[in-house]
Amino acid sequence: MLFLKTIFGLNLRRCSTMVRVLNVAEKNDAAKSLANVLSQGRSRMREGFSRFNKIYEFEYRLMNQQVSMTMTSVSGHLLALEFIGTFKSWKACNPVDLFDVPVQKYCPDNFVDIKRTLEREVRGCQSLVIWTDCDREGENIGYEIIQVCQAVKPNIKVYRAKFSEITPQSVARAVNNLGPPDPRINDAVDVRQELDLRIGASFTRFQTLRLQKLFPEALAEQLVSYGSCQFPTLGFVVERYKQVQEFIPEPFWKLKVSHEHDGVKADFSWKRNRLFNFLACQVLYDQCVENPAATVVDIKSKSKNKWRPQALDTVELEKLASRKLKINAKETMKIAEKLYTQGLISYPRTETNIFPKEMDLVSLVEAQTQDPEWGGFAQQVLDNGPNPRNGTKTDQAHPPIHPLKYTDSLQGNERKIYEYVVRHFLACLSQDAQGHETVVEIEIAQEKFSAQGLMILAKNYLEVYPYEKWNAKEIPLYYQGDQFEPNFIEIQAGETSPPPLLTEADLISLMEKHGIGTDATHAEHIETVKSRMYVGLRPDGRFVPGQLGMGLVEGYDSMGYEMSKPHLRSQLEADLKLICQGRKAKDDVLRDQIQKYKEVFIEACRQAQKLDVAISQYLGEAQPLPDNDSATGEVDFAPSIIRKCPRCGNPMTLRTKKDGKGFYIGCSSYPNCKASIWLPDFVLQASATQETCSTCGPGPVTKLQFKFKPGSVPLTIPNNYVGCIGGCDEMLTEALGIRPISGNVPSDLPRTEITSHANSAGRPTNNNTNVRPNSANIAANNRRNTPSSGAGGRNSQSAVGSSSHGNRPLNSGRQLHTRAPCDQTTSVMAGAGSINRLTVNNMNSGFGTPSNGPVGRAPSSKNSNPARGPLSSIPDSRSNISGTGRRTEVPGLSRVSAGGGGGDGAEQAIVCSCGNDAIILTVRKEGPNTGRQFYKCSGQTGESCNFFLWADQSDQSAATPGVSNPSFSRGRESFGGDGFNSTSDQAAMTNHRPSFPSGGDGGGEISCRCEIPAKSLIVQKQGPNTGRQFFACSKPRDQTCNFFQWADQVDQSSLSSAQGTSLPPWASGSKGTPAQRKRPAQGLAGSGQTKQRKPPSCGFCGQPGHRKNKCPERVDDF
């Protein structure tokens, strides 16, 4: 017992320190055979997660050290290619978009267990050896295995084993010559896979969706697929069929002479062969009959050989199995792969027909000497020495197909395929058949005739190769100058015949000749066109096209693009070979081929009616397409991809809502990314155009064609409008209620936010929650909006912002300023040099979202251009609209700040104790405060100051003097209880400028030590100065000059004198916070003047003297 414990302990220690190597084969049978060869039959088997893919363990000496080998397998391709997100849905986008949308590799559900096995096993291994087949597909499968393993263990060492047969010699040679995998071959397969997906999916979706609508009875449930290989394959069948159908036989006549001597008959053929004129043939016949004596004018006797077959490659195996054994190509390759994994034959997918000189053929022949049928011939080959007949092709990877060992236990088609490989191999190594040919030429009435005789001297390879015949033909013995009279001379009539329909072997020959597919994929493409009912197989094994196949080929041919011809695909196959050779780059080939097929697709869609007409000749009259059927009707070639998603970088597409009543722009990665832009219900139609906006990002952003419900948008936006939703078209984004939300923007994309909406409470929504805008409120706000000529402009700070903190409403508490043109003097929002200063709450950044509550309106003069608010920020070319009498609505602003009236630099951000902008968060924990928002320190400096403030408390503490939340009154404009609420107040505002930061008319402003305008802030920290306003340097924190100045300590008189005006009460702080109320107010409010009550003003235009129902500016006929 002690001895066993000691040995067991030693084994455990040895296993713990021994290097582990993971080996992965392409199939389970191959893994089993490889493990058996490497371990010499001593491997141990255990189960993996997949019951079809076992795990074999054994010890082996690798690279001069003892290692623990783990051998497992995949089942062909482990990963597949697919479109991302919603593009997998057939009706999610325009098919033309599929040429450009991102694709990704994924593991299909039936291979997940194999993937789990690899992930588990590789964790304890130090090296990975790829044992997949040594062809293009095998190299790509190897890279899929590498991708899965390196995701778990990035630093694992990777080796490639190259072998052509599972024999001890070949496997040992592969282990001793391990090298790196070939990325160029992998790139070629990646290109082929991506192109097949993009081309096939785009054409297939277009054809299927369209034709199912046009021919519902015939194609209601049928997939009308397209493939760049299957379509030329169909084209070969259709072309040959049409040649047969269009063939017109032509009659011909020829002379035949027969002579029999000593019981041996010779048939002499006419040197002219045949004539298509009966009269001419009759004349020559009459001459021969009148003078029938025949003279032997020439005798030629020579040796003649029948060539033995060349070394066997994949194409010849498929063709000969189809012709001689009556086994189709797909079944042949399936059986050949099984024989290969059993170690009976070499790798069956090869383009090589040359045996290497160093290959040991003798031992392979010796293994076949024991067979009772061909063993004797194998011994003859050994006696004479193997002498293979080589061809001219090689793929530099595998030798020709040949037997590896003898077996007599096979049955059925497996026996037939194995026997054919053996007999072909022995025939190739033997001698040509030898014979002697005699050609006798005679002359009758100056017309010459000839006969051939053949004497076989040695059959040689024909003794073991029954798949070919060479029959002897005996003729009488003739000597030159002999004369005789033939037994008869006759005229034979006949007619020309069409070429025969294609057999499977003929079709494979054409595919190989024109470069359609590879030797490994010919059978798959043929099976595809058969399964789609594009072609059928007659009882004699010849192909005929189906009705749908004929219609498709004729339809595309009528467009001028010979898509059924092999030109496009053969060019791609040539490019793939260049990639393997390193002479072309993967990206270049991918780009060129995508562009080429995309142009063909667009043109084919434009001429789709020709396809309809061609198919209707075979399937009956087509049904009319619905006018609004965008999926199957006339194809809109504007892409449905609108922009890149700023959150995940994937495309966002224009879609129709589930109820079909409205539109939205959603991320294609849904549900992984839920970013979206919901368009209001008053958008009657929306479609992508060919125009793009290069200003907005991530770009380019495709412009949209909108059709709005009349009266739902400002008058400056026509009902049919083309605009950008990326943010540069401020008026459009505000009219639609679009605002950005922050997200995790990929590093390679511009830091641009994706749009979302606020809820009815004005709180920002979660990034992954897309709340639809209240269309009624937006439309109501839009109808009250009025265009302006020059106020705000595209650079207005009220229009666009940016975000740098996740869900933070970045402009919460910030002040927005809209300036009126200098020639306006009659409106508080349009007066000379006046500034409308507003404080924005609950905006993440950007475009200004309409709030659900009513919004105040400022009056405008009937005889002057109306003021321009944030919603009216449009280009000057569209802003010269006057005389409307409308007043400006400012949507999305939940309170008005009267704390100062300066330029663009003023703001009221929530600042923590560190002096940085605080970030806003939402309580998620269940409790009384669930959903409540609060501010905290952003920790930008690396440390947190523990700042905390409820957001709803900040609304109260941040409110500026004299102004509360806006409210709307039909009789007059009211901005709270203490602010201006009459025309006299507004007139006073028109004649006064605020005492601190002012925007640009030469007014006084506070400058820091950097000699730039300072920014206005409000103390948020609880204490004696809470709510007190101050100025600070506007530069970033690490560049600030540390300037500081309390706003109520600024010399107001000096600033007002510099302007030539006195301060209004809402700019002096007379109704401010407790700290501000301690200081005497100055200006208009401090002079003792009292306000005079003005007559009631119009509830629509704000002008005194009339009521809303009699307002001359009101227009109701939208």
Q: Give the whole-angstrom CA distance, residue 691 versus residue 725.
A: 13
Question: Is residue 663 within 8 Å of residue 683, measured between CB atoms?
Answer: yes
* Token pair belonging to 685: 């139609």
b or e along 931-950 (b: 16 or more beta carbons within 10 Å of the residue's beta carbon)?
eebbbbbbebeeeebebebe
CB atoms inside a 10 Å sphere around CB 245: 8
Strand ranges (DSSP E) for 424-530?
433-444, 447-458, 483-484, 488-495
First to last CA, the chain: 101
Q: What is the DSSP letter of 719?
A: S
- Per the listing, tokens 């083309």 go with 722
* Token pair belonging to 449: 């005739």
Q: Give the whole-angstrom CA distance, residue 419 versus residue 335.
A: 12
* Token pair belonging to 700: 């380019």
In 3D space, the residue among 669, 627, 630 whose CA is nearest the CA of residue 646 turns out to be: 669
Q: What is the 3-state secondary structure (H, E, C) of 628-640?
A: CCCCCCCCCCCCC
As to burial, measured by CB atoms within 10 angstroms (0-12 exposed, 13-18 middle, 19+ buried), residue 695 is middle
Question: Is residue 781 within 8 Å of residue 850, measured between CB atoms?
Answer: yes
* Token pair belonging to 811: 């402009």
As to burial, measured by CB atoms within 10 angstroms (0-12 exposed, 13-18 middle, 19+ buried), residue 302 is exposed
Q: What are phi and psi of 642, to 5 degrees?
A: -95, -40
Three-class SS state of 704: strand
Cβ neighbours of residue 282 under 8 Å, at least 6 residues apart?
253, 491
Tell me if residue 479 is catalytic: no
Q: Give the whole-angstrom CA distance, residue 93 versus residue 101.
A: 10
In 3D space, the residue among 302, 296, 305 whose CA is nearest the CA of residue 438 turns out to be: 302
Question: Is residue 831 within 8 Å of residue 824, measured between CB atoms?
Answer: yes
Three-class SS state of 798: coil
Angle made by CA atoms 844, 845, 848, in degrees to the nearest 5: 100
Which of 347, 478, 534, 597 is flagged as catalytic?
347
* Token pair belonging to 140: 């790509």
In 3D space, the residue among 979, 959, 993 whose CA is nearest the CA of residue 1083 turns out to be: 993
Q: Give the whole-angstrom CA distance, residue 716 versus residue 785.
A: 9
Q: Give the whole-angstrom CA distance, residue 971 versus residue 968.
A: 9
DSSP string, 32-56: HHHHHHHHTT--EEE--SSTTS-EE
919 beta partners? 936
**CB-based contacts of 536-542 (< 8 A; 24+ apart in sequence):** 538/501, 541/322, 541/326, 541/503, 541/504, 542/500, 542/501, 542/502, 542/503
* Token pair belonging to 991: 């004649």
Three-class SS state of 488: strand
Q: What is the DSSP letter of 764?
A: B
Question: Is residue 1059 within 8 Å of residue 1065, measured between CB atoms?
Answer: no
Which amino acid is it at 358?
A: E
Q: Give the whole-angstrom CA distance, residue 695 versus residue 539.
A: 65
Q: What is the DSSP letter of 627?
A: T
On the question of a cis peptide bond just before residue 108, with omega within 30 degrees of 0, the verdict is: no
* Token pair belonging to 477: 């013995």
Residues recognised as catalytic: 347
